[in-house]
Amino acid sequence: MRGYRASDRAVPAVEEVDRRHVGHNDLVSDIPRRAASRTAKLAALPLGFAGRTVLGLGKRVTGIATDVISADIQQRTAEQLFSVLGQLKGGAMKFGQALSVFEAAMPEEMAGPYRQALTKLQEAAPPMPTASVHKALAEQLGPDWRDKFAEFDDIPAAAASIGQVHRAVWKLPPSRKGAKPKTLPVAVKIQYPGAGEALIADLKQLGRLAGMFKVIQPGMDMKPLLTELRERVTEELDYAMEAETQKAFAAAFAGDPEIFVPRVVASAPKVLVSEWVEGRPLAGVISDGTEAERDEAGRLMAVLHFSAPARAGLLHADPHPGNFRILPDGRLGVIDFGAVARLPDGHPEPIGRLVRLALEGDAAGVADGLREEGFIRQDDDLDAQGVLDFLLPMLAPVAADEFRFTRSWIRAEATRLSSPRSPGFQLSRKLNLPPSYLLIHRVTLGSIGVLCQLEAKAPYRAILEKWLPGFAPVA
């Protein structure tokens, strides 16, 4: 581990992390200093939208079909929106990640520019200089922070949008007087200086973009949705809150034979120290795992998704492969609890009930329930059977005892929902997403994406019957 050691701070240890995208002397971007250019990029989005609207009007004059105009404007709007969000750090990037709910329902030509910009940014994220790291640790953990560690690696093991992670060894208090001190490998998460200011500034600017999102998804009431997104994304800045969330997860899954949550060692508003999770990254299972390993990983992901709200009153809301490990004993290790949905009563009962009614073919019951929950507007007279026909293909994973998620299945669903000429596309544009369901919907889509990457087969229906309120058939 490179950095200092309590016994010999002058001697560097062997470097163990991938250094391709980080340099010891690189300087992290000063996010607030670029506030003017960030604001200019965000402010330019509505202007571009206005230009595309005029373009659409011109096409109507020339007699081009309305659905072609709509698709063209949608594509250009999405390309500019996602490209700008992906290029900016701080809040705009976090906001872009949160809006992956739109990406999942879009054709590749719309989502591609956003995904490419975001990936490029994540891979090239520069680390904080060592002096800034040490200053942050002193401010958050106290001037004697070095005495708390036996070792600390100055070069980050991972970097993200608002912070970076360092590997270290924490000194544990002796169990009794005179006993030999023990140590624990830990992950030290440190927030970038200025990340909070950039986040708040970006979110204020993005609130002006409700009109653009209406073009992408006309049926959605965007203002309350954007308000909910701002509140949830802002929570990720508070590492002390994240520590409490992680503690709640750890308590709920303590001793669990399938799910492992690392314990929190220390925390402050901008630094979080927790137990290091050693295991095989889920991305490795996706790329070269056996069929049995991928199936088991998918089953564990589904168990976590549906059991956590019932056991902890919380839903892990960042189902990215980088946040999961397969431990040597087969358990699923879970990290990064900055993004969560707080569900003190578990998953909302209407979700399970409406899925069950749909599988039973009760079109009227499904439409009434969706209208009651706000997915269908009270004044929209949608055909109940058409709504049921729209939903049933999505419910195939729980219609049978077992189901294998595949990339071809999700591509077929994306095509069904994204073609302007398909009934599914037209109906999807009339549906709303209530703010209270935002994170649940986002996490579900993200989890399905991971399961399709794994191409995992598992008894998903039985998992829902055990953990999802309202789903189990009434005896």
Three-state secondary structure readout of the chain:
CCEEECCCCCCCCCCCCCCCCCCCCCCCCCCHHHHHHHHHHHHHHHHHHHHHHHHHHHHHHCCCCHHHHHHHHHHHHHHHHHHHHHHCCCHHHHHHHHCHHHHCCCCHHHHHHHHHHHHHHHHHCCCCCHHHHHHHHHHHHCCCHHHHEEEEECCCCEECCCEEEEEEEEEECCCCCCCCCEEEEEEEEEECCCHHHHHHHHHHHHHHHHHHHHHHCCCCCHHHHHHHHHHHHHHCCCHHHHHHHHHHHHHHCCCCCCEECCCEEEEECCEEEEECCCCEEHHHHHHHCCHHHHHHHHHHHHHHHHHHHHHHCEEECCCCHHHEEECCCCCEEECCCCCEEECCCCCCHHHHHHHHHHHCCCHHHHHHHHHHHCCCCCCCCCCHHHHHHHHHHHHHHHHCCCEECCHHHHHHHHHHHHCCCCHHHHHHCCCCCCHHHHHHHHHHHHHHHHHHHHCCEECHHHHHHHHCCCCCCCC
12-29: per-residue pLDDT in tens?
222 223 333 333 333 334
Q: Locate the domains of the chain by residue range.
A: 279-475
Residue 137 is predicted with a pLDDT of: 96
Residue 313 is predicted with a pLDDT of: 97
For residues 333-350, give the mean pLDDT.
93
CA 384 to chain centroid, in Å, comes to: 32
For residues 368-394, give the mean pLDDT.
92
213-225: per-residue pLDDT in tens?
555 555 555 566 6
Residue 75 is predicted with a pLDDT of: 54
Q: What is the mean pLDDT of the chain?
A: 76
For residues 386-396, give the mean pLDDT.
94
Rounded Cα distance between 52 and 165, Å, is: 42
Residue 378 has pLDDT above 80, yes or no: yes
CB 367 within 8 A of CB 387: yes
Rounded Cα distance between 421 and 64, Å, is: 15
238-254: per-residue pLDDT in tens?
899 999 999 999 999 99
Kindly indicate the confidence band of residue 124, based on its pLDDT and cuts at 50, 70 and 90.
very low
Rounded Cα distance between 316 and 440, Å, is: 10
Rounded Cα distance between 302 and 461, Å, is: 10
Tell me which of 62 and 78 has the higher pLDDT. Answer: 78
Residue 354 is predicted with a pLDDT of: 96
- The backbone torsions φ and ψ at residue 28, rounded to the nearest 5 degrees and listed phi first, read -75, 145
Predicted TM-score (pTM) of this structure: 0.74
For residues 35-46, give the mean pLDDT.
51
Residue 49 has pLDDT above 90, yes or no: no
Q: With the C-alpha atoms ordered 129, 130, 131, 136, is the resulting torsion angle positive or negative?
A: positive
Tell me which of 48 and 146 has the higher pLDDT. Answer: 146
Tell me which of 31 and 287 has the higher pLDDT. Answer: 287
